[in-house]
Amino acid sequence: MALQTVLDELRNRPGTGETIPVIDPATEEQITEFRDCGSDAVDEAVAAAKTAYQSGVWTDIPARRRAKVLWRLGDLIDEHATEFAELESLDAGMPPMQAEMIVATCAEFFRYYAGWCTKLNGSSYHAYTTKEPYGVVGLIYPWNGPLFNACAKIAPALAAGCSSIVKPAEETPLSAVLLERLIAQAGVPDGVTNFVIGYGATAGAAITAHPDVEKVAFTGSTEVGKQIMRDSADNLKKVTLELGGKSPVLIYEDADLDMAIMMASMGIFVHSGQGCVCGSRIFVQRSVYERVVAGIAMIGDNLVLGGPKDEGAMISPLVSQKQLDRVLGYIDQASATAPKSSPAVTDWTEKVTSSSPPWSPMSTQPPAGCIGKRSSARWLRSCRSTTTRKPSRWPTTPATAWLPRSGPPTWLARTVWASACRPAWSG
């Protein structure tokens, strides 16, 4: 499926709302546009999904047949890997190598869940139980990893026998056009997987409010997640939410510092920090703080920012001007509290295509409004830890800690206030 075909198909997609432009993050040029699908399109998609589910055209077929369809879909994604990588690079500004790795992972999602099709059984002592699909589910995913997030949601829904309404982010709809076609080509019946493309306030809100949608799976901001939970409460809809966070990295003085510095740098600079698992805060023991910060700054200074077609580009631009403005707002807050010794902010007023170096403000206190929010940018906050083991009660999201291989990890989970702790051994 040629790139221009995808752009034309998206442009000609029916809609009743306002026109939404699709912008290339690397050039800030409009590459296509589409009409907001509107709530009526969501109603039609839900009706089609409900009809497909109740007919049993997908739910009632033997599990082994569903497994073969999912496996076939994984193969089709591999066959169209070059096209998907090009679409992801154009849509989200990803470097080609990163886009290619993500496409390969997406194909494996469907192969993995193909194996689950024949294993969704229920049993208990002196009883017979069955596990039934929810029915019609809403799948809403963000702009920072369009294809990855789409496949991570669609694959398990298909494996379970659900019908779904899929809404990509309005900023990054391109890969959804090709994926929709391959789902049909793999053998998924009409009406089982339905894509609606529009704004969250229209299409997304219509999905969460619809009484025939039994469950919503959402990945995105905490603010929108709260709204989805409120809307879903009106009809007691179940929800699965993967929301924004500020994943901290803890580095201790007796860790392998060279490895910790390299991995911490990868954790924030990959995809320009626009990922849900990026380590955007680092807590470092005081004795090695200067070495760690200097090491990360040196790596950052040598990274080359550019678009997918720029030779030698190592990190990509932010996805949109809106995202850049949001990040600049956070930086302004941090600048007000950072000491004078912090690295200077260089040309942050330049366009999203600028080659401004990553910025690492050094401050022992977090600015209000920034500490718990995901910035989704190549912006790293470093903090000194004054204690031997317990860095602070700041980490409230999953934490990664670099420890010596001989160190016991059990105290980490007891002393760090976080939803999850992942020791990363070194040495």
What residues are labeled active site?
A: 242
Instruction: Tally the C-alpha atoms within 13 A of residue 286's C-alpha that lie toward its C-beta.
Output: 7
Instruction: Tally the C-alpha atoms within 13 A of residue 391's C-alpha that lie toward its C-beta.
Output: 31
Query: Which of 374, 375, 352 has the alpha carbon at shortest distance from 305?
Result: 352
The answer to whether the CB of 330 falls within 8 A of the CB of 370 is yes
Query: Which of 114, 28, 10 has the alpha carbon at shortest distance from 68?
Result: 114
Query: Which of 257, 331, 269 has the alpha carbon at shortest distance from 294?
Result: 257
Region of 419 on the Ramachandran plot (φ > 0 left; ψ -120 to 50 alpha; else beta)? alpha
Query: Which of 221, 202, 228 has the alpha carbon at shortest distance from 20?
Result: 202
> What single-letter amino acid sits at 229?
M
DSSP state, 200? I
Give 251's strand partners: 284, 402
Query: Which of 419, 402, 423 has the alpha carbon at shortest distance from 247?
Result: 419
Got the DSSP string for 230-276? HHHHTTT-EEEEEE---EEEEE-TTS-HHHHHHHHHHHHHGGGG-ST
Q: Which helix (H) or strand (E) holds 143?
A: none
The answer to whether the CB of 2 falls within 8 A of the CB of 178 is no
Region of 321 on the Ramachandran plot (φ > 0 left; ψ -120 to 50 alpha; else beta)? alpha
Measured in residues, the chain has a length of: 427
The CA-to-CA distance between both ends of the chain, in Å, stands at 48
- 74 to 80, 177, 395: CA distances (angstroms): 10, 16, 37
Structure tokens at 191: 């009406």
Structure tokens at 262: 């390299």
The answer to whether the CB of 150 falls within 8 A of the CB of 141 is yes
- 42 to 37, 48, 133, 140, 188: CA distances (angstroms): 8, 10, 21, 13, 20
Q: Which helix (H) or strand (E) holds 165?
A: strand 163-167
